Amino acid sequence: MKKYIRLFFITLIKTYQITISPFLGNNCRFHPTCSSYMIEAITKHGTVEGIKLGMKRISKCHPFGNKGFDPVPLSNKEKSK
């Protein structure tokens, strides 16, 4: 069931990337973009934690915030290797 919930959110974000994002232009101040960041965060950390990380990232994406390279943090699995 978790797999399907994760797939639902990733599909939702990809739909945004294909349908809405092209009309808004390239406004993200970070690399990877906020939507790509959230997909990677959900994939690495699971749905709930990934969405939390993605929302935290989106909250930093404004004209007075930082910009530049901001990768998804390593998951606990990746840290233990």
- The tens digit of pLDDT for each residue in 14-59 reads 999 999 999 988 888 899 999 999 999 999 999 999 999 999 999 9
Burial of 68 by CB count in 10 Å (0-12 exposed, 13-18 middle, 19+ buried)? exposed
If one compares 77 and 32, the residue with the highest pLDDT of the two is 32
Per the listing, tokens 């749905």 go with 47
> Which pLDDT does position 9 carry in this prediction?
97
pLDDT of residue 32: 93
Asked whether residue 81 carries a pLDDT value surpassing 80, the answer given is no
